[in-house]
Amino acid sequence: QGEWSSDVCSSDLEEFGVTAYTERTRAYIKIQDGCNQYCTYCIIPYARGPVRSRDPKKVLDEVKRFADSGYKEIVLTGIHIASYGKDLKNIGLLDIIKMIHEIDGIKRIRLSSIEPTFLTEEFVKEIANLPKMCRHYHVSLQSGCDETLKRMGRRYTTKEYKSVIDRLREYIKDVAITTDVMVGFPGETEEEFLKTYKFVEEICFSKMHVFKYSRRKGTRAYNFPNQVANHIKEDRSKKLIELSNRCEYKFMESFIGKTLEVLFEQPVKNMEGYVEGLTDNYLSIAVKGDIKLLRNEIFPVKIKEIKDNFLIGEIEGI
């Protein structure tokens, strides 16, 4: 899966050593490596091997260490975290989430990326009842056209994907749903691209990461006929990015006047006197304030307006 954050570090394959972190606010913990899915464009199953899950005891020890050093948010990362536990006995992703949920000091648990097929009604109901779970799910789509999905070797249809998104929105209020979409996959005609465009427009993600397909030697899609010209990929990518920006704005706008809990992290570059942080549903918030007082603290913020890709607000109650 594409990871939603570029600062997720890739740790040692054998050890899954300590992962990346921001300054005492958010720690990235790799719980799994490898993938057995063999999407036709992806080299990872060949390059990184089959699914391997990290020993739950080691995961919990690491989370406890982070909690003891003051980290409040944990991001669970991996190549295909939905497969966590497939190679172990009697444990799955939901179990490890619940164990981490018990650890004092950890206020938020975020998942880096998750397969749509894993988000069953049962799983969504369970996570909706875990208050530390961030209301943010990165559900990789790749294409909104069934024919393209099939050639990509993805294991869901657009109908199945849509019902997963409906389910998340039904059970989790104000949930942020982000995704990856690939344009210019071999054989993607204008008609297929239009299907994708309409599909993602209907879902209106709170953010889309748009990738242009690039050929990887050793993958099945490398030899697929009808490779798409670069200028077409470029054009499709621009269209989707523009749509993504519109949907992102709409999502942000829907929070004006509301109060959200913000974990503050750092001063805003180019905005003198402002400090920024993230909500659990992945909104960037900026307030006027002192970083020394706010860093790594969670405060409720009343949202006032949108400016420079931030929701600007005021802290309530101090």
Indicate the DSSP class of residue 308.
T
Closer by beta carbon to ligand SF4, 155 or else 302 = 155
- The DSSP bridge pattern shows strands 32-33 and 52-53 to be antiparallel
Q: Give the binding range for ligand SF4 (CB under 6 A) out of 5-13, 42-50, 57-65, 163-171.
A: 42-50
Among 29, 59, 79, 96, binds ligand SF4 (CB under 6 A): 79
Among 19, 37, 112, 178, binds ligand SF4 (CB under 6 A): 37
Residues 6 or more apart from 259 whose CB is under 8 A from it? Answer: 300, 301, 302, 303, 316
Beta bridge partner(s), residue 261: 300
* Cα–Cα distance measured from residue 265 to residue 24, given in angstroms and rounded to the nearest whole number: 9
Q: How far is the CB of 34 from ligand SF4 (least distance, A)?
A: 9
Residue 44 touching ligand SF4 (CB under 6 A): yes
- Total residues contacting ligand SF4 by CB under 6 A comes to 10
45 or 184: CB nearest ligand SF4 = 45
139 binds ligand SF4, rule: CB under 6 A: no
Answer yes or no whether residue 114 interacts with ligand SF4 by CB under 6 A: no
Q: Check: CB of residue 115 under 8 Å from CB of residue 79.
A: no
What's the full length of the chain, in residues? 318
Q: How far from chain centre, in Å, is Cα 313?
A: 24
Q: Least Å distance between CB 79 and ligand SF4?
A: 5
For the chain, the first-to-last Cα distance in angstroms comes to 41
Measured from the CB atom, the residue of 50 and 70 that comes closer to ligand SF4 is 50
Site for ligand SF4 in 209-268 (CB under 6 A): none
Q: Does 80 bind ligand SF4 (CB under 6 A)?
A: yes
Q: Distance between alpha carbon 139 and the CA centroid of its chain, in Å?
A: 7
